[in-house]
A and B are shown apart, each in its own frame.
Chain A
Amino acid sequence: MASEKRDKEEEEVKTDDGSPKIKPRPIVQLGIFLVAHSPVFSVVFSAAGVLALLILPLLAKNTYISENALMPGSARSMLSNRDVSDGSKLVKDIKNYWLNHEGQGVEVQKLIGKYMSDMGAEVYYQKFHPEGNQFHPLHFFSGPDSYTLLDNVSCASYGVNVAGIIRAPRGDGKESIVLVTPYDFINGGDYEALSLGITSTLFSLLARVTWLSKDIIWLVTDSRYGDYRPVAAWLTEYHSPSFKVSDLLKCGELNTADTFRRAGTVAAALVLKVDGRSERFEDTLSIYAEASNGQMPNLDLINVVNYLAVHRQGFYVKVEKVVSLLSSSWLKIIGEIFEAVGKLARTLNPDWNFGIPAADYLEGSATLASSLYSQALGIPTGPHGAFRDYQVDAITLKISPRFPPDSKTRQHDFFLRGARLLEGTIRSVNNLLEKFHQSFFLYLLTSPSKFISVGVYMIAFALLVAPLPMVAASLYIEGCKALTKSTDNPTENLKSWKWLDAAKQVFALHLLGFIVTLLPYFICQVPGQHSPRNRSIMWGTTSSSLLLITFAIIPGCSPFSSRHHGTNWAVLKSVTISAAFIGLCLMSIINFATAEIGALLLVPTCLMAQPIKPALRSRRIKSLLGAFCSMVLLTIGFPVMFFAISKGLFGEAVVGLSLGGEFWTWLESLWAWKSATYLYIGMVHLPCWLLCLCILFHPS
């Protein structure tokens, strides 16, 4: 305290009458140094941020099983041919049913239910209403239990799920593991039937084993209404029972009242799908893990499945990747450069073996890009996403067999291997005493067996946004100096509160962003059928008129106001940058991928934004170039524009008004899934973009 006080006094003396220099403390010196050279450092840091993002595939570590209790693959599989024949019989029966009947009613469900109860499981049926995702603006801010039951439902369309529970001989009924197999009960499908076969093979085994300590729930969902919705409906019923008698119960011949059964907290869930033919020689297993808002299941779950699939059952395991990146030449060049650097480093010191082959790098970055993309979108990649809302770790396993669906001979082997994989996984999860907590929740995958943990990928983001506070500080100091000079009476201005005017403007535009974010909800309430295009036009006109009203009401807010009213642009830019920094940091915690992609767009835009008029007046190449850059960045930064460009990059060029429709549909999907990305676009990106526009046209 005392030394600090002395420091300040000394500082004062220095500023007042220029007495001998006294060195401030090193950390202050460092801060002053960084702020003073902020243009250089912001370029360096931003470049380092982009570079760090590019070398992330190099930094990926091999996955390892962190929880010792899991012990995957240590037990011998108990699966016998009898179990497999049970599974094959079910598949055969279902196929026979499809040959003789046209799909209506609940016959298939009943058939599956009969098989389950024959194996000794408790069986029940659940009816659900297919429409669930309704956008409500305030539900973003409340917990997951805000799902409201629809009051008046019709019997015209409803789905029926079948679930069977095996009670664990060693358990106390307080924990359970869920297996989900989506199946279209109306149209059927040969490959989907195979997933039923695998699970019923496994179920037949689990019904008679003695080592189970967690109950097993096998849920066959009605995938007529999508994969996600039936699972979500079942989970809602499972976790928050409604005591109101729904009208749905009376629909159809099946009476499902008071039959819903539960089996304790869900420890883990596996969704199994069999889909299409594998293009490779082996059977392919694809793992989907991204849930809503970029949440991931515990890495241990993926590790267990990956370990068993690769080392025990010989599947080819893959995760999603952006295929178009695999053939991109610039990424290939970067990969080769990194490979060369790695080789060079190894010749210097054999311990430095961070280099990876260019092909691996390409694969890794394609997977990483896909991982980032699906996390940033915030939309779950499969029915496992519904589990994550209840803190349950879940993944979707999509198996593509290498044989056609009607090949009987291969089917036996396929069932055996698929069921063994699931058996091993369930056995591992069954060993757990606590819920998954040992391994990572925050990671990005670069291959099924490689991951980048939060500690590594955050560095890339931190480097990218590091220039923001520095530039904000330097602009703030600069702007304050300019303001002090411009006002005549030094006593009249509030020395340290000069930012208040700029803050008002920033706040007004953020408020506008908030209103614009909520507008679609009200537009959806407008009676009458409207195409997405019309709705987007409505939205656009309302928002822009609101913007004009804001500019008209609040003087100094508008970029077109006279010089007298306008605030100093440096201070305004400083406040804008601070707002962008806070918004990006918040978003990086909610959903890293969105923040990273958003930062790539927003950081250069915010840093480059400067008034265009003085640049045009001065007619120097450098300032003209800067103005041009900021205009280009602002054009790209407009959300609709960015959407169009990214669409164009993927080869679907859209122009004109249909673009508005497409954009509306995209946004609608975002908010229907409660994606935080939607909030980010409306409440951080759009206001900051508008503020940059204000700075660009600032009359200074």
Chain B
Amino acid sequence: MAEEQNKKPCRFWIWASASVVFRLILISFPGNLNLSSRPEVSTPLTSIRRLAEGYWLKQASMSPYAGSMYHGSPLLLSVLGPLTVQRIKGQPSHLLCSLVFVIADILSAMLLRGIGQKLQMAYGLNARLLGFLKSSRDKVILPCGDIAALVYLWNPFTIVSCVGLSTSPIETLAVILALFGAVTRRVPLAAFGFVMATHLSLYPATLAIPMIILLGYGLDAPPIKLFLQTRSVENEKSSTSTVTKQAKSKQTTHLPFLWKTVMHFLFWVLLWSLYVLVLCALSLNKYGGVEEMFKRTYGFILSIEDLSPNIGVFWYFFAEVFDFFRNFFLIVFHVNVLFMLLPLAIRLKHRPCFLAFVYLAISSILKSYPSVGDSALYLSLCALFVNELVDMKFSFFLFCGYLGISLLSPVMHNLWIWRGTGNANFYFGNAIGYACFQIVFVVESVSAMLNHDRALRRSSSNHGEVNS
């Protein structure tokens, strides 16, 4: 057992470095894969070609947002822009950018591993508290951090969006950084990640709810009722039994909400957003300032101006909709995301990290410009809960569905755009299929999580009966 424990990290590092080498090999293929022009990989928001264009415009002292080419953050422009023009002789263009994305991927994987280790510890602790892990040998806790990091690194979606020169690895990094900060209770870091993620792609703003719960109540745990139940049973059984100090401190029916940390977090969010805004204003002061930025980035995301095909479902609908209904449907479509926030938050408030995963998955379905990078993020977050989701239904069906859809998508695109024998419905049909599979995936994972909680409750009550 101990040997295996030693072996595991070694194997983890081998696989992780293998994934990096694999990426580097793919990067060195000059232009043969043509991934950066695929609609699945790069959206109008994340395409590095558009970023290079924006940088060029800015160098020519024009607004980077002129001509509706670039729609990303001005900060990203200042960081990645200089790298897009620098070329090393004999090497493919944008090599430096690719290296930045590879580094972002590695960092995300490491942070995911950190989150996973914390979650794993919490899982073990909770299981012991509830009395399932008496002998510590009867059930192996999977190293969910390692699994999640490897799932992230070897997910074809991640690899494709890293090699395909889209900025989504950086957005992913910001989101994972925010979660990491919240899990390890480094409040300024969490606030920074949150502000950056929101600044880069807007949709992570929904993460505010899980992060506040996470900071206020602590890590994922089974419902509080269970602990009370277990404890009462144990107290009845023998008053002299060794109840841990921690358990003694939690005699109340409610967990204490740490207002102080949350206020701390909000303060830091305010600070960081001010900082980011000032930086943006400085970098754009000649070209319309922050107002222009809001209009061209968030406005572009919310009003769905670009109707070029992508793997989402919005472009087709808004290409068809009559102009005078457009505003109405914009509201309807965007409210869809907000609509689900509150019920889910109430139901899953004891599992804030899982809640964050569900939010990210939902926003990836209902995003205006989704790419496979978003799926890569939520799929790897899902792997963090591998202990809880062991009983997930339809896993094989979903796997086949994802595989089939992601292979079908380029074929349909080819049929429509290159061969001209298909039409837009072909590609849109594929997008609908993708959305359906994502929905099934979210529904199944949430129900598996709730079933897991139910199973805990049942077994803990059985446990109590046996003991008494």
Residue numbers of A with Cβ under 8 A of B are: 4-5, 8, 12, 138-139, 141-144, 295-296, 388, 391, 441-442, 476, 491-492, 494-497, 499, 503, 574-575, 578, 582, 585-586, 589-590
Contact = CB atoms under 8 A, between A and B. Distances in A.
A590 B411 contact: yes
A616 B231 CA distance: 59
Given A295-B421, A492-B139, A138 B393 contact: no
A589 B415 CA distance: 8
A295 B399 contact: no
B282 to A, nearest CB: 42
Contact of B139 (A4, A5, A491): A491
B418 A144 contact: yes
Interface in B389-442: 390-396, 399-400, 403-404, 407-408, 411-412, 415, 418-422
Contacts of A497: 390, 392, 395
Given A495-B391, A496-B395, A586 B404 contact: yes
Contacts of B395: 496-497, 499
Given A143-B418, A497-B390, 15 more contacts: A4-B443, A5-B447, A8-B447, A138-B29, A141-B33, A142-B34, A143-B34, A296-B421, A391-B419, A491-B138, A494-B390, A495-B390, A503-B399, A582-B404, A586-B408
Interface of A is mostly: helix
A144 B419 CA distance: 10
Given A8-B447, A582-B403, A138 B33 contact: yes
A467 B411 CA distance: 24
B391 A586 contact: no
A494 B33 CA distance: 37
Contacts of A138: 29, 32-33
Interface size grouping (class) on chain B: 20 to 34
B404 A295 contact: no
Contact of A492 (B32, B34, B140): B140
Contact of A496 (B33, B393, B422): B393
Contacts of B400: 578, 582
A56 B394 CA distance: 37
B418 A441 contact: no
B390 A496 contact: yes
Contact of A586 (B139, B390, B407, B447): B407
A586 B29 CA distance: 26
A10 B191 CA distance: 43
Contacts of A575: 396
Judged by DSSP, the binding face of B is helix
Contacts of B407: 582, 586
Given A138-B32, A496-B393, A441 B404 contact: no
Contact of B391 (A142, A295, A496, A499): A496
A219 B407 CA distance: 40
A442 B390 CA distance: 45
A582 B393 CA distance: 20
Contact of A142 (B32, B411, B415, B422): B32
Contacts of B34: 141-143
A494 B390 CA distance: 6
Given A141-B33, A391-B420, A590-B411, A585 B391 contact: no
Contacts of A295: 419, 421
A142 B399 CA distance: 26
Contacts of B411: 586, 589-590
A499 B392 CA distance: 13
B131 to A, nearest CB: 15
Contacts of B443: 4
Contacts of A441: 420-422
A391 B393 CA distance: 45
A590 B138 CA distance: 51
A441 B422 CA distance: 8
Contacts of B396: 476, 496, 499, 574-575, 578
Q: Which of A141, A442, A492 has the most CB atoms of chain B within a 10 A radius of its CB?
A: A141
Contacts of B415: 589
30 contacts: A5-B447, A8-B447, A8-B451, A138-B33, A141-B32, A142-B32, A142-B33, A142-B34, A143-B34, A143-B418, A296-B421, A391-B419, A391-B420, A441-B421, A441-B422, A491-B138, A492-B139, A495-B390, A495-B391, A496-B390, A496-B392, A496-B394, A503-B399, A582-B400, A586-B404, A586-B407, A586-B408, A589-B408, A589-B411, A589-B412
A494 B411 CA distance: 34
Contacts of B32: 138-139, 141-142
Contacts of A582: 400, 403-404, 407
Interface in B230-288: none
Contacts of B418: 143-144, 391
B29 A442 contact: no
A585 B412 CA distance: 12
Nearest to A585: B404
Contacts of B451: 8, 12
Please name the 9 residue pairs, one residue from A and one from B, whose CB atoms are nearest each other, closest first.
Answer: A441-B421, A391-B420, A138-B32, A582-B404, A496-B395, A499-B396, A495-B391, A578-B400, A496-B392
A291 B33 CA distance: 25
A12 B32 CA distance: 52
B326 to A, nearest CB: 27
A496 B445 CA distance: 12
A574 B393 CA distance: 16
A539 to B, nearest CB: 23
Contacts of B392: 496-497
A476 B396 CA distance: 9
Nearest to A440: B421
Contacts of A142: 32-34
B465 to A, nearest CB: 15
A9 to B, nearest CB: 8
Nearest to A503: B399
Contacts of A5: 447
Contacts of B408: 585-586, 589
Nearest to A473: B397
Nearest to B392: A496
A5 B393 CA distance: 14
Interface string B365-398: 0000000000000000000000000111111100
Given A491-B138, A586-B407, A442 B393 contact: no
Nearest to B447: A8
Contacts of A590: 411
Contacts of A12: 451
A8 B408 CA distance: 32
Contacts of B139: 491-492
A491 B139 CA distance: 7
B399 to A, nearest CB: 7
A8 B140 CA distance: 28
A144 B34 CA distance: 12
Contacts of B29: 138
A656 B408 CA distance: 39
Given A5-B447, A496-B391, A589-B412, A442 B33 contact: no
A143 B420 CA distance: 13
Interface in B115-165: 138-140
Contacts of A503: 399
A465 to B, nearest CB: 13
A441 B404 CA distance: 24
A299 B45 CA distance: 40
A534 B241 CA distance: 80
Interface string B28-40: 0100111000000
Nearest to A494: B390
A388 B400 CA distance: 33
Contacts of A574: 396
Nearest to A138: B32
A607 B106 CA distance: 43
A151 B377 CA distance: 45
Interface string B18-48: 0000000000010011100000000000000
A540 to B, nearest CB: 27
A391 B33 CA distance: 22
